[in-house]
């Protein structure tokens, strides 16, 4: 999303809404980019991320052979 400095004054709610959606907003002044405002938290849901990480890291937990059992004695 892109907002000019004058639009920012009158459409600040659009900036907040874009940040809530996880979008970065480019602020311009006379056609030149002044900066980019980015959301603080990632756009990924924390529960979704935790679930994905649990399934990824837990995918081999059922294996009976572990690394310590595979070394020669």
Q: Is 30 left (phi over 0), alpha (psi -120 to 50) or beta?
A: left
- pLDDT attached to residue 32: 93
Instruction: Find the CATH number of the domain harbouring 53.
Output: 3.40.1620
Q: What is the pLDDT of residues 13-55, one digit of tens each?
A: 999 999 889 899 999 999 999 999 998 866 566 788 788 878 8
Read off the DSSP letter of residue 3: E
- Classify residue 68: in a domain, yes or no: no
Looking at residue 5, what is its pLDDT?
82
pTM, two decimals, is: 0.51
Q: Could you list the residue range(s) of the whole structural domain that residue 41 is in? A: 2-62
Asked whether residue 73 is domain-assigned, the answer is: no
Q: What is the pLDDT of residue 56?
A: 80
Residue 70 lies in a domain: no
Determine, yes or no, domain membership for 46.
yes
């Amino acid at each position: 999303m892109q907002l000019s400095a004058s639009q920012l004054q009158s459409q600040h709610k659009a900036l907040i809404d874009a940040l809530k959606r996880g979008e970065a907003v480019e602020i311009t002044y006379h056609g030149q980019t002044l900066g980019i405002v980015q959301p603080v938290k990632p756009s990924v849901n924390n529960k979704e991320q935790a679930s994905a990480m649990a399934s990824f890291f837990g995918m081999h937990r059922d294996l009976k052979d572990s690394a310590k059992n595979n070394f020669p004695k």
